[in-house]
Amino acid sequence: MEFLSWKAEDGVAIVTIHRPPANALAQQLIRELDELLNEIEQNDDVRVVLLHGEGRFFSAGADIKEFTSLSSPDQAAALAENGQTVFNRIEAFPKPVIAAIHGAALGGGLELAMSCHIRYVAEDAKLGLPELNLGIIPGFGGTQRLPRYVGTAKAAEMIFTGEPITGIEAVEWGLANKAVPQEELLGQALKLAKKIAKKSPVSLKSAIHALQYSKASFEDGLKAEAEQFGIVFQSEDAKEGIQAFIEKRQPTFSGK
C-alpha cells in the first residue's frame, strides 16, 4: 500500500498513515484503508487496531485539491458517501479501533478519528472541522458524530466557526478519552490497546455490535449530510473557498 502500513504487536495491529506532509485523506488513502480493514478483520491474531499518523499530524483533513475535480452535486455527494461508508465500517468494525491523535485532526482527519471507538490525544493536539472556511460543510459524518460526543451546541460552535479545540479541551468536552503529553501518546495508547487485546474476541465483537444501537436515526442524518455536501459544492462560495485554500490566501465569499 502507498499510504498505509501496519505491524502486529501482542495482538494489536499498529496502523500508520504516511502521506506527508499532512497525511491528507486522498480517495486512494481511503480505499487503502478499506482494503486494510479487510486484511485485519481476517487476521485472527489481531484483536485490536491502533491508528496513528506519521510525522507532524494525525491527519490535517481531506485532500482539498481533489475537490477541484468535482463538477456536479452528485459527484460531490458520491465522494462524501464513499468516505462515510468506510468510516461507518470502522465504527462497526468487530475489533476495537483506537485513534492516537497528535499534531492535528482536522476536517476528514477528525471525522476519521470520531469513527474510532476510543480516542487518545496529545494535550496540544488541534481537533476541528474547518470546512465552512472553504464554503463547504463536513461530509464524512462530522455533522452527525460530533454532536454525539460534545452535544449539539458545542458541535454547532465548532462547525460554524471552524475553530479547533485542544486535546485537553477535547477530553473536557467528551470528544476524547484521555489527553497526555505528545511524547507519551503512542506508548499510552498502545498500553491500552494491549490491555483490551487480552479480552475475549467474542465478547469484544458483541459489545461493539450492541453499542451500535445507542444511535438514533444516524443513517438518515448521514444521508442528509451527503446530500447537503453535494448541494453546497455547486455554490460559488465553495469554488472560491477551495481555490483560496490551494492558493494559500483568504477566501472572499459572495453568498452565491
Strands (E) located in the chain: 4-9, 12-17, 48-53, 97-101, 104-106, 118-122, 126-128, 165-166, 178-180
Return the SS3 of 15. Answer: strand
| Active-site option among 32, 131, 169, 225 | 131
Give CA–CA dist 72/204, Å, rounded.
42
Query: Nearest 10 degrees: CA dihedral of 138, 105, 239, 250?
Result: 130
Give CA–CA dist 142/42, Å, rounded.
29
| Active-site option among 32, 81, 91, 111 | 111
Helix axes 73-91, 108-115, angle to 10 degrees: 30
The DSSP output letter for 213 is G
For this structure, is 111 an active site residue?
yes
Give CA–CA dist 236/211, Å, rounded.
41
Helices (H) and strands (E) in the chain, counts: 11, 9
Residues designated catalytic: 111, 131
